[in-house]
C-alpha cells in the first residue's frame, strides 16, 4: 500500500478485499494496539480505495462512535471499511476491526478523512 508513513507507524500492510464502497485491509502491530493505534490503522486503510488512482494524501479530521467490542489480545487484525458519504474532498467511513485469527469484532467506529486534491 502507498502510505507516507515510516516504520513503526505503518500498520496497514495489504489489501485483502476491495469493491467500490467496501475494503478489507490486513493491519499488523509490533505491540498490543491501543485505541489510537486502531484509529490510525483504519485511517491508513482508507488508502486502499485509491490504490489504482494517483497517490492521494489524506488527513484524519474526525473519529466518532469508537466502541470497544472485545478484549484486545492480538497483534494482527483486519480493518473493514465502508464508504458512507463522499462530499468534495471529505469522505466519511464506518469501520470495524476484527481479529485476524478468530474473526471476532474488536472495535468499531466512524472516521472522516480530508483528501488533498
Fold of 12-115: Thiol Ester Dehydrase; Chain A (3.10.129)
Asked whether 61 and 90 are in contact (CB, 8 A), the reply is yes
For the chain, the residue count is 117
pLDDT of residue 113: 94
Site of grid cell 470497544: 68
pLDDT in tens, 64-114: 999 999 999 999 999 999 999 999 989 999 999 999 999 999 999 999 999
| C-alpha span between 111 and 10 (Å, rounded) | 18
In 3D space, the residue among 6, 24, 10, 2 whose CA is nearest the CA of residue 95 turns out to be 24
Grid cell, residue 35, equals 485505541
In 3D space, the residue among 95, 90, 21 whose CA is nearest the CA of residue 56 turns out to be 90
Asked whether 44 and 57 are in contact (CB, 8 A), the reply is no
Question: What is the DSSP code (8-state) at residue 42?
Answer: H
- For the chain, the average pLDDT equals 90
Q: What confidence category does residue 8 fall into, taking pLDDT thresholds of 50, 70 and 90?
A: low
**Helices (H), ranges, 1-117:** 35-45
Reported pTM: 0.89
Grid cell, residue 95, equals 469501520
Question: What is the DSSP code (8-state) at residue 69?
Answer: -
Grid cell, residue 2, equals 502507498
Amino acid at each position: 500500500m502507498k502510505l507516507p508513513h515510516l516504520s513503526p507507524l505503518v500498520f496497514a500492510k495489504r489489501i485483502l478485499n476491495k469493491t467500490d464502497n467496501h475494503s478489507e485491509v490486513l493491519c499488523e502491530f509490533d505491540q498490543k494496539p491501543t485505541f489510537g493505534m486502531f484509529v490510525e490503522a483504519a485511517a491508513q486503510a482508507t488508502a486502499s480505495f485509491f490504490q489504482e488512482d494517483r497517490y492521494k494524501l489524506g488527513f484524519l479530521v474526525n473519529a466518532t462512535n469508537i466502541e470497544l467490542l472485545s478484549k484486545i489480545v492480538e497483534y494482527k487484525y483486519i480493518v473493514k471499511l465502508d464508504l458512507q458519504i463522499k462530499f468534495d474532498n471529505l469522505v466519511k467511513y464506518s469501520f470495524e476491526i476484527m481479529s485476524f485469527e478468530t474473526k471476532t469484532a474488536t472495535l468499531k467506529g466512524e472516521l472522516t478523512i480530508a483528501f488533498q486534491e
